[in-house]
C-alpha cells in the first residue's frame, strides 16, 4: 500500500514522502477539475477549490429584436463563429410579419413566413431551433430582420 502524503494546493509541492504514489501535477488536476466540474481553481485558499463557475453555455445569451427591425445585429458587434442556437418568435397579431436571418451580409434565410397572406390561428410564442455558426468573414455575425407585429429573441453566444 502506498504512503499517503499531504500536498500543498497553493504550489503543488508535496510536504511528505510520496512512497510508491506519484503526483504528476497538481495544476493539471486543478485544470481538469475546472474543465469538468466547473470549480474555480483560483480561490486562493489552500485546500479549497473555490466556488462553482458557470461552464460555457451556448444558450446563455439573448438579444431581443423589436418589430419592423432591419438587419438587427445579435450581440454588440457580431463576429465570425457567433452561435445562434435559435429564435423565439413572438407574433403580436394574426397578421404578423415574417422573420429572416442573415449571416453577415449574405442572403436572407427565412425562418418564419408570418401571417400576411393567411392569418395565424395561434399567437403563442414558439421556438425555431437553428444551431448555426456565423461563417461570413466580412461584416460577420448574425442579423435578424422582423416584419410588422412580430418580435423575437435570439438565443446563443454573440460577440
Are residues 45 and 87 both part of a single domain? no
Domain ranges, residue 95: 61-157
Are residues 34 and 65 both part of a single domain? no
- The yes-or-no verdict on residue 19 having pLDDT over 90 is no
Q: Count Cα atoms within 13 angstroms, Cβ side, for 73.
A: 14
CB 88 within 8 A of CB 63: no
Q: Please tell me the predicted confidence (pLDDT) of residue 73.
A: 96
Chain segment 25-35, per-residue pLDDT in tens: 444 444 434 34
Supply the CATH number for residue 94's domain.
2.60.120
**What is the grid cell recorded at 137?**
468573414
Are residues 25 and 44 both part of a single domain? yes
Query: How many independent structural domains does the chain possess?
Result: 2
pTM above 0.75, yes or no: no
Q: Which residues, other chains included, contact 16 with Cβ-Cβ below 8 Å and sequence gap of 6+? A: 3, 4, 5, 6
Are residues 112 and 153 both part of a single domain? yes
Percent of the chain residues topping a pLDDT of 90: 57
Q: Which residues, other chains included, contact 153 with Cβ-Cβ below 8 Å and sequence gap of 6+? A: 62, 63, 64, 65, 87, 88, 90
Are residues 82 and 142 both part of a single domain? yes
Are residues 48 and 110 both part of a single domain? no
Are residues 93 and 146 both part of a single domain? yes
Chain segment 107-136, per-residue pLDDT in tens: 999 999 998 888 999 999 999 999 999 999
Chain segment 87-99, per-residue pLDDT in tens: 999 999 999 999 9
CB 146 within 8 A of CB 57: no
Single residue among 12, 31, 55 that ends a domain in this structure:
55
Quick one: pLDDT band at residue 138, thresholds 50, 70, 90? confident
CB 47 within 8 A of CB 22: no
Amino acid at each position: 500500500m502506498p504512503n499517503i502524503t499531504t500536498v500543498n494546493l497553493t504550489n503543488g509541492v508535496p510536504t511528505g514522502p510520496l512512497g510508491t504514489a506519484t503526483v504528476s501535477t497538481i495544476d493539471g488536476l486543478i485544470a481538469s477539475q475546472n474543465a469538468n466540474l466547473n470549480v474555480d481553481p483560483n480561490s486562493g485558499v489552500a485546500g479549497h477549490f473555490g466556488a462553482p463557475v458557470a461552464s460555457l453555455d451556448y444558450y446563455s445569451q439573448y438579444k431581443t429584436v423589436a418589430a419592423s427591425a432591419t438587419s438587427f445585429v445579435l450581440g454588440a458587434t457580431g463576429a465570425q463563429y457567433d452561435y445562434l442556437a435559435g429564435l423565439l418568435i413572438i407574433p403580436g397579431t394574426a397578421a404578423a410579419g415574417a422573420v429572416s436571418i442573415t449571416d453577415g451580409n449574405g442572403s436572407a434565410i427565412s425562418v418564419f413566413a408570418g401571417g400576411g397572406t393567411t392569418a395565424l390561428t395561434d399567437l403563442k410564442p414558439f421556438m425555431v431551433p437553428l444551431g448555426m455558426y456565423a461563417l461570413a468573414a466580412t461584416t460577420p455575425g448574425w442579423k435578424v430582420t422582423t416584419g410588422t407585429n412580430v418580435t423575437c429573441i435570439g438565443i446563443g453566444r454573440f460577440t
